[in-house]
Amino acid sequence: MPRSRRGIAGRILLDQQSILVYVLAALVLVFTVINPVFFSVGVFGNILVDWAPIALIAVGETFVVITGGIDLSVGSTITISGVIAAFAMAGLTGAGWPDPVSLAVGILVSLGVGVLVGLVNAVLINVAKLVPFIATLATLGAGAGLALVLTKGGPVGGGPSSAIGLSAPTIGPFSWPIIIAIVIIAIAGLFLHFARFGRYTYAIGGNTFSATAAGISVPRHLVKVYGLSGLFAGAAGIMTYLTLGSGSPTSGTSDELSAIAAVVIGGASLTGGVGRMGGTVLGSLILTSVTSGLVISNIDPNWNQVVVAILIAAAVTLQTVRRGLGRRRHS
C-alpha cells in the first residue's frame, strides 16, 4: 500500500469518532447476543429516554471543556430547574390554567433557572476569580441542597396531566421531546463547528493569551459559554420532568459525571482546545447503551461504573497515542 494511503487508513482507524462507532456497534452486537430483546424498538426507545438528558448536558459541557473549564453544576441544575418548574406548573394547573399554558411556563422557568445557574458560575469565575472546578462545585452543592429544602425530599406533582404523555413514542421509538432534543443538539453542533462563537471557544481553550491578543473578550465569552451550559441543563431538567411526571429532588444526581464522561469519551481534552460534538453525542449514547444493556442482560448494574472507567481510560490513551503520532509526523 502506498505511504499516503497507509497514512489515510491509519487516520481513519485512529479517528476518535470512527472508533466510537465501532464500540457502539460492538456493544449492540454483544448485548443482542446475550439477550435478543436488546435489539428492539422498545429498548431503543428506553435508551433514547435515558440518552436525551445526558446528551443535552454533555453538549453544554462540551463548550465548557473546550474553553479549558469544567461545569460540575449541571446535574444539580437539572434537579433545581425541574423542581422550580414543577412548582410553577402545579400552581398554574391548580389555578385552572390550561395544560399548554402551564407547560409553556414550566419550560420557560426551567430554561431560565438553568441560565441563572450558568450566569452565577460565570460571575464566580470572572469576578470572584474562582477556578471553574471550585465555582461549579459550589453551585452543585447549592442547587442540590436547595432542591431538597424546597421539596422536603419528596417529588413535586400536580402539574399538567397531559405533560407525561408527551414522552410516549410517536414516530417509532422517538417522542416529540427527543426529536426536539436531537434538533437542538444538531444546531449546537453547527454552532460549535461553523460559527464565530465556536471559533472563539476553541481559541480560548487553545491559548487564552493568544485569544485575548486577537481581540476576543475572554470573560464575556465565558459568560456566554457557562450560560449556554446552564441553558442545556435547564432543557434537560424539563425533559426529565416530562419523563417522570413530577419534579424530583434527586433526578439529576451524578449526571454531571456522566456528562463529563461522555465528553471525554467523545474525544475532548480536559486541557481545552479539543472536542467535537459528534463525539460527545456518540459518547453519551454509548454510556446509556451500556446501562440499558447490563439491565436487560441481568448483569449487576454496578459493572456499569467499571465499563465507563475502562472507556474513559481507553479514550484518554487514544488521545495520547494520536498526539504522539502527530508529533512524529511533524518531526
CA–CA–CA angle 41, 46, 49 (5° rounding): 125
Q: Cell 457502539 appears where? A: 24
Q: Is the pTM of this model over 0.75?
A: yes
Low-confidence ranges of the chain (pLDDT < 50): 1, 8-9
pLDDT tens-digit map of 229-273: 999 999 999 999 999 989 999 998 889 999 999 999 998 988 999
Q: How many CB atoms lie within 10 A of CB 291?
A: 20
Distance set, CA 120 to CA 65, 155, 282, 299 (Å):
18, 26, 30, 41
Any idea which residue has 425533559 for its cell?
Answer: 239
CA distance 237 to 323: 37
Query: What pLDDT is attached to residue 315?
Result: 80
Q: What is the pLDDT of residue 69?
A: 97
Q: What is the pLDDT of residue 181?
A: 96
CA–CA distance, 212 with 207 (Å, rounded to integer): 9
Q: What angle do CA 200, 204, 210 make, to 5 degrees?
A: 100
Look at residues 51, 41, 71 and name the one whose alpha carbon lies nearest to residue 134.
Answer: 71
- pLDDT attached to residue 303: 83
Q: What is the pLDDT of residues 169-194, one digit of tens each?
A: 888 899 999 999 999 999 999 999 99
Q: What is the pLDDT of residue 214?
A: 93
pLDDT number for residue 268: 92
Nearest one of 238, 233, 258, 260 to 248, comparing CA atoms: 238
Give per-residue pLDDT as tens, 189-213.
999 999 999 999 999 999 999 999 9
Task: Answer whether 240's CB lies under 8 Å from 82's CB.
Answer: yes
CA distance 300 to 282: 24
**Which pLDDT score, from 0 to 100, does residue 331 have?**
56
CATH numbers and ranges of domains, the chain: 37-319 (1.10.3470)
Closest C-alpha among 246, 248, 74 to residue 152: 248
